[in-house]
Structure 1
């Protein structure tokens, strides 16, 4: 029975190749998006006094978090393509969800600290 389930679960080679190509294309598209976002953030910084250092930190962290989370998602998708059976799919999913929950908790805490610091800096009287 276990062998029959494994045989039915197997992803055809053509479909696996197509899925891997799609994951790779998504990864490259995301990298181009990040480059564009970083260039835009850089141009905003050059506009002068209207962009505060706090906004720069928040933007940089948001981009870093987006990159980290997207990479984790793409890695997860790729690992699913190589899963041998349903048990492995379930294990990979559980590990991914747990890791993302830890990452999001950490990211929310760090972002809260950065926003608080930026708000305090903005509230300081100009000398």
Structure 2
């Protein structure tokens, strides 16, 4: 049976390794998704690409939080990191919603513009 070392350093190393694999898988997924959207003839492909870019930024920020949490010194440090992450994500969500709203308005305005 494998020797299990429950030390904090061993747990950190395992978490860091797992986060690295997850990050790599996520990067590959978004790369494939971007290629698929780039070759799409659909009229909403640009909006879908923008939405996917937002998703990718959010996923990356979550992985970054995971990396930081593996280095937390104590619970208070971890809570501070989570609080900062939440505030940053709320700002990002607000910006993303604004951008998506502007894009949607441009698309709607363009759809009702007479074509000569």
8 A contact 1:57–1:114 mirrored in 2: no
What's the CA shift for 1:69? 0.5
Question: Is residue 2:34 matched to residue 1:38?
Answer: yes
Aligned length: 110
What's the CA shift for 1:119? 1.3
Alignment correspondent of 1:104: 93
Alignment correspondent of 1:7: none
Give structure 2 stretches of 5+ with no counterpart: 1-6
Alignment correspondent of 1:12: 8
Alignment correspondent of 1:81: 70
CA-atom RMSD in angstroms = 1.3
Alignment correspondent of 2:4: none
8 A contact 1:41–1:59 mirrored in 2: yes
Task: Determine which structure has the larger helix proportion and give its number.
Answer: 1
What's the CA shift for 1:125? 3.0
Greater RCO, CA 8 A, separation 6+: 1
Measure the CA separation in 2 of the matches of 1:57 and 1:35: 15
Task: Provide the secondary structure at the position in 1 that maps to 2:39.
Answer: helix
1:30-69 → structure 2 map (5 Å cutoff) = 30-44=26-40, 47=41, 51-52=42-43, 55-69=44-58
